[in-house]
Chain A
Amino acid sequence: MKYSIMVNEGPYTHQASDTALQFCKAALEAEHEIFRVFFYHDGVNNGTRYTVPPADDRNIQKEWSKLAETHEIDLVICIAAAQRRGIMDADEAKRQGIDGDNIAPGFRISGLGQLIEGGIIADRQLVFGD
């Protein structure tokens, strides 16, 4: 089965991101395919490399980045939602005249069309949110 995932909440405040991550791991282990993970609303906050949780807690951003690296998963952050919330890659920072970027490895910033495309291409699109 080919899955497309949507994550609508930021890390730590809501469990949505943890659950999405656990679903992706379980699906891959069962030899399903994750076509794309799309981060929307506060979900874009999963993609900043500036999160530093306490040492005895999980690092959700690093787990997403590791998943992307290990399984070549496409992690896409919505540009409009990201702009509102201060998530930047180098190109966007330059365009907006911001003094730095904070996007985490394995994530990329793109448009909402990527979410719709995910729904069209995947067999199932799952929403993780509030």
Chain B
Amino acid sequence: MDTSSNVRVGPFEFFLPSHHFAPALARTGDPVYPGRLFIVEGIDGSGKSTQLVLLHKWLESKGYGVVFSEWNSSPLVKDTTKLGKKKKMLTPATFSLVHATDFADRTEKSILPLLKAGAVVLCDRYVYTAFARDVARGMDRRWVRELYHFAVKPTVAFYFRVPLETAIGRITAARDCLKFYEAGMDLGLSDDPVESFRIFQGRILDEYERMVPEFALTVVDATLPVEVQQTQVRQIVRTELEKAKELRVRP
């Protein structure tokens, strides 16, 4: 089979003709691998992590073999990212690259093998986080998309849509202070961290909205009560899992 001319794979066929790119890694979950990949996206304070934790609990209670992978968590790359952030050494380009390296390590060592093994994989943040943040930092939109060309396309990508002010209210209520890069302080948008955060998150929100049609993200209204959102999420996940045939059960 000539995978390089096969159009079903990846969200990436939208920005490059597939014949340009033979896969860096195999590019899709569904038809090739028995596993299923569900990811959550949204700006800080959108409540996506809460929803993912609830989904995780539910899937485990149903007996599925579930594995959770968090943004920025590769043991191999963590020290480098930490060093760059602590010493404020990161430029938009190296910020983008350390996160891509972290994601690549998790893709190669856990996400991909787990999907091959038939697990349900849950990711808190995925490539769309990088697309939003890196472009908000001024990186070329196309370059960042091509950078993540090796990523596996999720079965469902949930986007928790929330107005900027709601998210900022939730974050500032829950935190004492904002981190340097989190608030986009490296961009020189404002000397005030909260104001910088507001401008930066606004840009990120714009990027997410642009990606909804581009990558067919599944939008969840994150202003609704937690339970209502979770019911919607579970319903969509249930439908996908019923279609799957060879999923692992928990030992």
Genuine A/B complex: no
A: residues with CB less than 8 A from B are: none
B: residues with CB less than 8 A from A are: none
